Every structure is written in structure tokens, then in C-alpha cells.
Amino acid sequence: MERKTFKTKKDLCSALEIDRTTLFRWLKDAGITTKRGKMPPEEFEELLDFCINRRQKEGKQQDATFRNQTQH
């Protein structure tokens, strides 16, 4: 199965079940900068991996249900 590609940061936040403030805090902590508008799919893949890892580190990991939501 392929992972879902997100077109906006809002879509990413919805899939991760976090708010945009949390997303941007995580990105700032990691030194990742994003631009307004659309991001290339490769950057979103990297962003998704980072966010999943961060979510797990913060103890907010949900079982396989969460990972299934990020796949087609």
C-alpha cells in the first residue's frame, strides 16, 4: 500500500490529529522551515515521517489505526 500524499499542512494536521500550532512547534523545534503554499510531495513525505516519529516520542502514538489512516 502506498502512503497518502497530503496537499496541505491542514490535511497533514487532520491525519495526525494535531492542531496547526503543534505542527509548527514541532517543525520549529526540528529546525524545519516550510513555505507558504504547496510543498513538493517529497518534502511532505519527509514531514510526515518526522511528525509520526515526534508523535510517538511524545507518547501520543495510537496503534495501527493511526498508521492506517496515513495510507491509501
Cα dist. 6→37, 41, 58 in Å? 12, 8, 22
Cα dist. 65→4, 5, 15 in Å? 14, 17, 11
Q: What is the pLDDT along the chain (72 residues), one digit of tens a residue?
A: 345 666 677 777 777 777 888 878 877 877 777 666 666 667 767 777 777 787 777 765 444 445 555 554
Interhelix angle 20-30/9-16, rounded to 10 degrees, is: 100
What is the pTM for the complete model shown? 0.49
